[in-house]
Amino acid sequence: MDDSILIPTDGAETTDAAIEHGLRLAAKTGATVHALYVIDMPQLGVANADEGLSGLVDLLEEEGKAATAAVAERAREYDVPVTEAMEAGVPFREILDYADDHDVGLISMGTGKHGRLESYVVGSTARKVSRLSECPVLTVRTTDEPTTTEYENVLLPIDGTQGSERAIDECAEFAAEYDAFVHVLYVIDSRVARSGSLMELMESESKRACGDAVSRVTSEGAQARQETRHGRPAEQILDYVDDHDVDCIVMGTHGRTGIDRFVMGSVAETVLRRATIPVLTVRDSGEE
């Protein structure tokens, strides 16, 4: 599926789950892992404007070496080769630049536990990377109960638009690697269509889109089923996860900003913010 997987790490426990999931995927696909530590220079400069930064940078470099070495040590259990790297700058930009410079096929990164602040603030590094990355991003949340690295049930939410086209192909390959069962879900937004001809049109579109997705998934060797639900898309996706013991979500997103992001990107961002299982986001390849 991927020749190389990038695992950003800061040495904290919030990256542990992403490291484990990334290494497991690398072992399955025969990929090389890049363990990356980024020294957050803007934050360091603001927080310590009156202090000597050179000593602090030296300490962070040592911390970074320890963090990437820990990934390499864990990778030996999977017999996965690891390249250790360190960059300095704005974390999300350095991660994206590294992925581009090294032709990374997938990024596996962690995010913290649910919290009141996180429910309202979505400006995390993981969120920015998942929205802007050219390659798929596997976001793994730290939870009290570790999530399984063996995905038996994968949820593929689609909407029939270009934004979910690439996600279908990625999901098909992803599910085949894990021998997972794929649940194709189309949600008709009840705020847009409630009855009449528009509802009939969207019902027809859901059958077409789901049928196409199932066909493409099964052609790669995975099994699949389809379902159409009505309601708010993000809510229905998260409810489906609970109803069917889903282990991972694969869904499309995009890197647009402004009003387009709030109208079209809010579903993926809401799911990323609230899901307790890994989410693999795939950016619309049709974007510039």
255 belongs to a structural domain: yes
pLDDT at res. 254: 67
Task: Indicate whether 114 and 91 sit together in one domain.
Answer: yes
CATH code, 275: 3.40.50.620
Task: Indicate whether 173 and 272 sit together in one domain.
Answer: yes
pLDDT at res. 52: 58
Q: How many C-alpha atoms does 98 have within 13 Å on its Cβ side?
A: 27
Kindly list the averaged pLDDT for each block of 10 residues, start to end, along the chain of length 288.
88 90 96 95 62 74 95 96 96 96 96 48 73 93 85 95 88 95 94 78 93 97 96 95 97 60 64 93 72
CA distance 249 to 157: 8
148 belongs to a structural domain: no
**Residue 75: left (phi > 0), alpha (psi -120 to 50), or beta?**
alpha
CA distance 171 to 159: 15
For residue 6 the two structure tokens come to 């990038």
Task: Indicate whether 110 and 164 sit together in one domain.
Answer: no
Task: Indicate whether 59 and 176 sit together in one domain.
Answer: no
For residue 152 the two structure tokens come to 């038996």
258 belongs to a structural domain: yes
**Do residues 271 and 130 lie in contact, with contact meaning Cβ atoms separated by under 8 Å?**
no
Task: Indicate whether 93 and 159 sit together in one domain.
Answer: no
135 belongs to a structural domain: yes
Task: Indicate whether 131 and 210 sit together in one domain.
Answer: no
Task: Indicate whether 195 and 104 sit together in one domain.
Answer: no
User: Residue 56 is part of which domain span?
Assistant: 4-141
CA distance 67 to 243: 37
Task: Indicate whether 278 and 200 sit together in one domain.
Answer: yes
**Residue 283: left (phi > 0), alpha (psi -120 to 50), or beta?**
beta
CA distance 78 to 15: 18
The full length of the chain comes to: 288
pLDDT at res. 257: 45
Terminal Cα distance for the chain, rounded: 24
For residue 117 the two structure tokens come to 């602040």
Task: Indicate whether 248 and 182 sit together in one domain.
Answer: yes
288 belongs to a structural domain: no
147 belongs to a structural domain: no
Q: How many domains does the chain have?
A: 2
**Do residues 162 and 37 lie in contact, with contact meaning Cβ atoms separated by under 8 Å?**
no
Domain boundary among 100, 118, 141: 141
Task: Indicate whether 178 and 279 sit together in one domain.
Answer: yes
Domain boundary among 141, 175, 192: 141
Domain boundary among 141, 161, 182: 141
Task: Indicate whether 84 and 10 sit together in one domain.
Answer: yes
85 belongs to a structural domain: yes
Task: Indicate whether 24 and 132 sit together in one domain.
Answer: yes
pLDDT at res. 260: 39
Predicted TM-score (pTM) of this structure: 0.89
146 belongs to a structural domain: no
